[in-house]
A and B are shown apart, each in its own frame.
Chain A
Amino acid sequence: AQSVSQHNHHVILSEAASLELGCNYSYGGTVNLFWYVQYPGQHLQLLLKYFSGDPLVKGIKGFEAEFIKSKFSFNLRKPSVQWSDTAEYFCAVNPYPYGQNFVFGPGTRLSVLP
């Protein structure tokens, strides 16, 4: 069965620090990849997605992610985090033939200290 792993359960950074959250998936075929964010008390929001093309995708709020097919990875990055980035981040994979076969990672909690 497909699975998604996220490298860190909880990351604590100071403001202006750089961020990289790791995500790896286990599926050998074609996949769509997503990062979702869940701010405290709020619902899930799509941060960015990768379907095809340029493996470096840019999302909202200065986030970007790089798809490395050979490593089955889709790491999320931001050069300078803000206190408002404090949230839970979920990586998700939708393998072909897509549709309802949508698997979430366990999530990484990011705490940004002011």
Chain B
Amino acid sequence: DAGVTQSPTHLIKTRGQQVTLRCSPKSGHDTVSWYQQALGQGPQFIFQYYEEEERQRGNFPDRFSGHQFPNYSSELNVNALLLGDSALYLCASSLHRGRDEKLFFGSGTQLSVL
């Protein structure tokens, strides 16, 4: 039973570039959430996808966008990268409105913006 998988594990970009991060949810899960974790802080909610739609969004600018595919996998896109976007990006999957709403996290993508 595969857990949540993310790719790539590490990424280096320069300011102004665009980046796409990928996530495959745990088998049987249909909901994907993305979190940003800056160094020394707890994860911050970016947005959540269910049924291929963005269902809720945290306090992040429109430069952050996403997509969910019919197989429930998801992408996070960040445009016009800023130095402050350097962080660990975590994907979490869950079962929508399941009785047990435990979130399972991937290992993350470490993004460095130079």
Whether chain B is bound by chain A comes out as no
B residues near A (Cβ < 8 Å) are none
Seen from chain A, the residues whose Cβ lies within 8 Å of a Cβ on chain B are none
